[in-house]
């Protein structure tokens, strides 16, 4: 008979395997799906997970998903990106968070909560769901509108603010007198641990990843990335601090590393699975008896939360210069509570800031606000159509600002990169050679270690947002493999490919790629033209011959004629036919050139006989 633990693992995997696709099919957030599945299999549902003690153990393990999420957030927050968005992120985002926290805290105090509890709940509920809001904005096609970009900036600030909020949960408990304050020795030790994480992340991790990358052992890179997250978690918990804070610091320190995309691709599957497990565990703790016993409270909290955040966001959007419709959409997209509220409620319950009954009540209210968000947006779309009689049109999307991805950063890819850099067009270069990455980065190029043939690497490089893809990989087999991956998963992304030879061109053409350049073809033509002039042909004749050859070769290459490389006899016959056709073309060109020269001589003689200057005058 299988063990109880093995059965529970099977239940979790089954839930994770079916919930996310079902959520995508139903066009709802996967977070809601995980919560619903958790309720179903938990002790208050079918009882497949038998007790709250089991759930608490699962929650403790699944918190690694939250830690990995914050590590990945740190990886995304490069200093240049933060600086470019600083006004919207820290201005609008900061005002939104503080104003929402103040209003909700005041409502909590008026409802009879302790001041520390009210402030804690105010900050927790002021956070919106990043995954939920961004998914809905993308589904509605409004992610690139002005209000969509402002919404992303606010969510980014909230992700940043969640880090210290999680770390500062014990302070709220201190305010209630339920936890001891940190003494001087513990504070010094904690600061020392943070400093150790910063030093190791800044000076050791990048070198460690380089050494592992040199071995070309893929699973070793994955293990090192996981070890980084787990190691930081252990160190921070030893210091009595939030593991999430340490993971964020470690991620931010690696944000400019050439191995950032590779690390992100290796961590992301584990982060997604463990985060799903976390939401499953949170769902298991939800006792819907609370909803049935006090439905008025749950609905009232959810309604007040949605109303307060929607009104504040609308007002801030108008203050920031959005039109009325755009500000309204901003408020509706971000009016729900967020997944970090679940994390904070769990941490607050563990630190005895709030009790489990209040935590369960608030968790239900946040869940209800998430369910209400897409319904409110549908209602807004319906009303807009009824009033205007057409499809909603809120504000014009900005001009495309996507980057260019360069796969392969040898002599071919570097030329494209230098032109892009000079024109201030952003690009991301990927190369599988550690030596090449190290060498090129010394000159300040934006290059990362990673296999462009891996879908997770391409997603980490944001291929879905790119303007163009430059395929400059030297190896023919690897080049075709990358082209297949890009064409299959990003069919709208234009590919500009380098080809080694004719066979390589044919393989790329079979994939539907039309922008192909043979790497030595034009150079060989230019050299041949110089050689023809050097042996005595006129510049005009040399140019004519080269142009004829180029047109004839490309007509065969891009037409329906294919060289049969598998049959030597047919290949030889095709080559002879190609050479004979070219010889006939050259003969006609020489005759035409001679006729032109004869005609020029006759015109010169005629001009001279009439006293007019010749053609060479």
Alpha-carbon distance of 49 to 65, in angstroms, equals: 20
Local structure of residue 344 (DSSP, 8 states): H
Alpha-carbon distance of 154 to 133, in angstroms, equals: 11
Tokens matching residue 155: 């969510």
Domain ranges of the chain: 4-46+57-386, 404-519
Closest CA to 91 of 255, 314, 317, 330: 317
pLDDT at 187: 67
For 404, phi then psi, to 5°, come to: -115, 135
How far apart, in Å, are the Cα atoms of 568 and each of 388, 476, 563, 564?
69, 21, 10, 8
**Residues 137 and 333 sit within 8 Å (Cβ to Cβ):** yes
For 319, phi then psi, to 5°, come to: -65, -35
Q: Return the number of other C-beta atoms located less than 10 Å from residue 105's C-beta.
A: 21
Q: What is the mean pLDDT of each run of 10 residues along the chain (617 residues)?
A: 67 75 69 76 67 66 75 72 74 92 93 89 90 73 80 84 77 56 64 78 78 80 83 77 72 76 80 78 72 84 94 92 88 89 83 84 87 83 70 46 82 81 81 77 71 84 87 87 90 88 81 81 74 78 79 68 53 59 62 53 48 41
Q: What is the dihedral of CA 454, 458, 461, 463, to 10 degrees?
A: 170
DSSP 89-137: IIIIHHHHHHHHHHHHHHHHHHTT--HHHHHHHHHHHH---HHHHHHHH
| Fold of domain 404-519 | Rossmann fold (3.40.50)
DSSP reduced 3-state for 517:
strand
**Residues 369 and 377 sit within 8 Å (Cβ to Cβ):** no
Q: Is 219 exposed, middle or buried (0-12, 13-18, 19+ CB in 10 A)?
A: exposed
**Residues 274 and 62 sit within 8 Å (Cβ to Cβ):** yes
Alpha-carbon distance of 543 to 533, in angstroms, equals: 9
Closest CA to 391 of 378, 376, 381: 381
> What's the pTM value of the predicted model, to 2 decimals?
0.58
DSSP reduced 3-state for 563:
coil
Kind and range of the H or E element at 516?
A: strand 515-518
Closest CA to 403 of 385, 378, 421: 421
Closest CA to 311 of 327, 325, 322, 296: 327
Residue tagged 């402030």 (tokens): 119
Local structure of residue 396 (DSSP, 8 states): P
CATH architecture of the domain with residue range 4-46+57-386: Up-down Bundle (1.20)
Q: Which residues contact 60 (CB under 8 A, 6 or more apart)?
A: none
pLDDT at 398: 41
Reading across the β-sheet that carries 468-471, which strands appear in turn?
A: 447-449, 427-431, 404-407, 468-471, 495-499, 515-518
**Residues 453 and 481 sit within 8 Å (Cβ to Cβ):** yes
Tokens matching residue 258: 């050439």
Q: Please tell me if the domain spanning 4-46+57-386 has the same topology as the one spanning 404-519.
A: no
């Amino acid at each position: 008979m299988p063990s109880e633990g093995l059965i529970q693992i099977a239940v979790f995997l089954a839930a994770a395997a079916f919930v996310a696709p079902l959520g995508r099919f139903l066009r709802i957030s996967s977070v809601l799906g995980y919560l619903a599945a958790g309720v179903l299999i938990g002790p208050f549902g079918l009882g497949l997970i038998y007790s709250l003690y089991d759930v608490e153990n699962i929650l403790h393990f699944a918190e690694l998903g939250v830690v990995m999420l914050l590590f990945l957030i740190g990886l995304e927050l490069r200093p240049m990106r933060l600086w470019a968005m600083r006004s919207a992120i820290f201005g609008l985002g900061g005002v939104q968070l503080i104003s929402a926290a103040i209003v909700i805290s005041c409502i909590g105090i008026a409802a009879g909560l302790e001041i520390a509890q009210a402030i804690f709940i105010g900050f927790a509920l002021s956070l919106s769901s990043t995954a939920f809001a961004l998914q809905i904005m993308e589904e509605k096609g409004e992610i690139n509108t002005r209000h969509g970009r402002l919404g992303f900036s606010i969510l980014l600030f909230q992700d940043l603010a969640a880090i210290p909020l999680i770390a500062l949960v014990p302070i709220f408990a201190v305010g209630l007198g339920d936890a001891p304050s940190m003494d001087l020795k513990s504070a010094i030790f904690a600061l020392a641990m943070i400093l150790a994480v910063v030093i190791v992340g800044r000076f050791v991790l990048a070198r460690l990843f380089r050494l592992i990358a040199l071995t070309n052992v893929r699973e070793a890179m994955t293990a090192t990335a996981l070890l980084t997250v787990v190691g930081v978690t252990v160190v921070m918990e030893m210091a009595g601090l939030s593991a999430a804070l340490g993971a964020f610091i470690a991620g931010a320190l690696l944000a400019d590393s050439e191995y950032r995309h590779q690390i992100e691709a290796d961590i992301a599957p584990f982060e997604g699975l463990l985060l799903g497990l976390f939401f499953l565990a949170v769902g298991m703790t939800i006792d819907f008896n609370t909803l049935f016993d006090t439905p008025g409270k749950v609905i009232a909290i959810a309604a007040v939360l949605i109303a307060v955040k929607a009104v504040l966001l609308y007002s801030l959007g108008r203050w920031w210069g959005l039109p009325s419709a755009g500000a309204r959409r901003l408020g509706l997209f971000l009016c729900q509570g967020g997944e970090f509220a679940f994390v904070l409620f769990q941490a607050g319950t563990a630190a005895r800031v709030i009790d489990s009954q209040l935590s369960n009540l608030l968790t239900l209210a946040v869940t209800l606000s998430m369910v209400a968000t897409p319904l409110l947006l549908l209602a807004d779309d319906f009303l807009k159509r009824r009033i205007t009689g057409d499809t909603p049109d809120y504000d014009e999307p900005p001009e495309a600002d996507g980057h260019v991805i360069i796969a392969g950063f040898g002599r071919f890819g570097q030329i494209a990169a230098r032109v892009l850099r000079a024109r201030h067009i952003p690009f991301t270069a990927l190369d599988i050679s550690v030596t090449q990455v190290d060498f090129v980065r010394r000159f300040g190029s934006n290059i990362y270690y990673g296999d462009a043939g891996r879908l997770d690497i391409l997603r980490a490089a944001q291929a879905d947002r790119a303007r163009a893809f430059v395929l400059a990989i030297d190896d023919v087999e690897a080049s075709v493999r990358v082209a297949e991956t890009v064409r299959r998963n990003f069919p709208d992304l234009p590919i500009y490919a380098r080809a080694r030879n004719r066979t390589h061109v044919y393989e790329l053409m079979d994939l539907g790629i039309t922008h192909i350049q043979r790497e030595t073809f034009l150079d060989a033509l230019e050299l041949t033209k110089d050689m023809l002039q050097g042996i005595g042909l006129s510049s005009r004749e040399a140019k004519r011959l080269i142009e004829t050859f180029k047109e004839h070769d490309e007509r065969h290459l891009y037409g329906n004629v294919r060289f049969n490389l598998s049959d030597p006899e047919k290949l030889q016959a095709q080559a002879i036919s190609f050479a004979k056709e070219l010889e006939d073309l050259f003969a006609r060109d020489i005759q035409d050139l001679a006729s032109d020269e004869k005609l020029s001589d006759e015109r010169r003689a005629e001009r001279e006989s009439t006293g007019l200057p010749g053609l060479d005058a």
